[in-house]
Structure 1
Amino acid sequence: MRNALDKEYLEHCVFGQLADYADFYRSLSDSTMSWISQGTNSAINIDTYVFSSMQGTLESINDILFKGRINDAYALLRKYYDATIINLYSNLYLSDNFSIDNFIVEKINNWVKGKETIPSFGKMSEYIIKSPKVSEITQLVYSNGAFKGSSFEELRQRCNDHTHYLYYHNLLSNDNEVYLQNRLATLDSFSKDLKDIFILHLSYLFYQNDHYMMSSDYVDSLDCGLTPEEDSQYWVASFIQDIFNKVIKVNRPDIAETIKGKTAMKLE
């Protein structure tokens, strides 16, 4: 049988999304490496490798989708979703528990060292949603204030349907030689799910860790023995401003304004 993927499939906008998001995480991984992960004894910011891992997952999704394996791509989308929740949970847990009297936060440090597993997806999601530190974002991301009954519960279920072959048509979406009338509709749904997870991640991340948005100009000046320009510590890296404009401001202007209202960073 011939390959059933047509031009409309191969030129779908999801491939541009995946390229943009992967490039973003590559840049974010590089730019956050020098920030210390308070609460761990890691020499390098633990988020650095979380972000580069996300980059790798998105690149793998791109390769798999290009071959028409939507079912497998959804399994990796679930992995990407897991990674975003782990990242948000670990940052929030460190923020909640790090202090001069608790210099090493054992739960996260043990996870980094391979001595303890991270909590389940459900427990981590609940921890994030119930946190007063990020409640302003939670109210916007989860309109009902909970995971259960939210659009993200439905998204998670779609990932599970494909991962576990809960329906026969999920299995068929992994065969690129079978004609499927709804193949493009499934790809449209995948594209939206990918975008929603990406926005969820960036919304919480930059609301909580706004220093991650910082450009390198301030530190570069110090490294060169120069006096940094006034307020340059508040300048936003161009790749972050670009993705903020292209994804968050366009799709969730309410979240964009909330982040801008909280941070001292010069986010446009």
Structure 2
Amino acid sequence: MSVNEAAETMVAKLGEYAEFYDGLSFGVMSFVPIGTRSVLSLDTYLMGSMASTLRGMAALVTLGNINDAYALARKLYDAALIGTYINLYLQRNAQPGKPLVERIDRWITGARALPRTGEIGKYVDAAQELNAVRPLLSVPHYTAVRDRCNDQTHHNFLDHLLLNDGRVHLKSRAEWIEQLGADTLDIIILHLAYSFCLSGHYMMSSDYMDALEAGMTPEHGSEDWVAPYVQAFLTEKVEPRCPGLIAALRQETGMELEG
């Protein structure tokens, strides 16, 4: 595949991923977490930010700035871990009618930063709540993804600098674009696996809530229906890359996933 073909393919895929995250950001909006002062789901903001990061990556790939795009992939990875950490921490510590969860609330108000990424990663890695999907997410594989993102961010090799100037001929440029595409999808798979494992209702179709808002009784079992765009993304993008994840999520959450 030529450099131009690799770049065009990558940009198209990033656009699809961003559109999916836009939909998910809107879909989870009403799931307001207890233990915080937020009036919307915190994941609405996080997923909207991830959609913007993906569009930023697409713009950089179009310009030929592959190294900069990798730096944003590292940012995407951080967002995936932060979102998982927040959901885990709130599920463990928040209770209705109890005081706000200080660690998360102070992050919301800007009074205190969250722990460093390394500490967040250890917290997530140790979470038994994620055991249903963790066997499908190879630790060595994701360590390699993280290492590539870090190497590019810190210019650990000369090639990384050269990748950021599309005018420079580099034999491996098309290969690096394809690798960036694979790493980006893997980061998204990690995030969705963790998010849906912890909050299966994030996959829910709008039928249940639409009925309630219309003053109607929702159809029996409709709270377990999966939004078509979520099912399509999992089937077409995720399952080929991570076989068995749909089945694991179906067993863990009870959602009516196909595949």
- TM-score interval (norm. to shorter): over 0.9
> 1:155 aligned to 120, 139, 145, which one?
145
The equivalent of 2:128 in structure 1 is 132
Q: How many residues are paired up?
A: 257
The 2-side partners of 1:69 and 1:57 are apart by 14
The equivalent of 2:13 in structure 1 is 17
Instruction: After TM superposition, give the deviation of residue 101 of structure 1 in Å.
Output: 7.0
Amino acid at match of 1:8: E
Given that residues 67 and 160 in structure 2 are in contact (C-alpha distance below 8 angstroms), is that contact kept between their aligned partners in structure 1? Answer: yes
Residue 121 (structure 1) aligned with residue 117 (structure 2): yes
Given that residues 28 and 44 in structure 2 are in contact (C-alpha distance below 8 angstroms), is that contact kept between their aligned partners in structure 1? Answer: yes
The 1-side partners of 2:222 and 2:120 are apart by 35
Amino acid at match of 1:11: E
After superposition, the C-alpha distances for 1:202-244 in whole angstroms (9 at most, x for unaligned) are 1111111001111111111122222322211111111111111
- Between 1:101-110 and 1:22-31, the stretch displaced more is 101-110
After superposition, the C-alpha distances for 1:37-91 in whole angstroms (9 at most, x for unaligned) are 1111111111111110000000000000011100000111111110010000100
The 2-side partners of 1:162 and 1:41 are apart by 37
The 2-side partners of 1:48 and 1:101 are apart by 23
Given that residues 207 and 259 in structure 1 are in contact (C-alpha distance below 8 angstroms), is that contact kept between their aligned partners in structure 2? Answer: yes
The 1-side partners of 2:190 and 2:81 are apart by 9
SS in 1 for 2:35: coil
Identical pairs, percent: 38
Instruction: After TM superposition, give the deviation of residue 102 of structure 1 in Å.
Output: 4.2
> 1:83 aligned to 76, 79, 83, which one?
79
> 2:5 aligned to 3, 8, 14, which one?
8
Instruction: After TM superposition, give the deviation of residue 172 of structure 1 in Å.
Output: 0.3
Aligned counterparts, 1:144-223, within 5 A: 150-223=140-213
Aligned counterparts, 1:243-262, within 5 A: 243-262=233-252
The equivalent of 1:72 in structure 2 is 68
The 2-side partners of 1:201 and 1:247 are apart by 14
Gaps of 5+ in 1: 144-149
TM-score normalised per structure 2:
0.94
The equivalent of 1:57 in structure 2 is 53
The 2-side partners of 1:233 and 1:162 are apart by 43
SS in 1 for 2:114: coil
Instruction: After TM superposition, give the deviation of residue 22 of structure 1 in Å.
Output: 0.4
The 1-side partners of 2:114 and 2:205 are apart by 31
Gaps of 5+ in 2: none
Given that residues 129 and 135 in structure 1 are in contact (C-alpha distance below 8 angstroms), is that contact kept between their aligned partners in structure 2? Answer: no
What is the CA RMSD across the aligned residues, in angstroms? 1.5
Residue 97 (structure 1) aligned with residue 93 (structure 2): yes
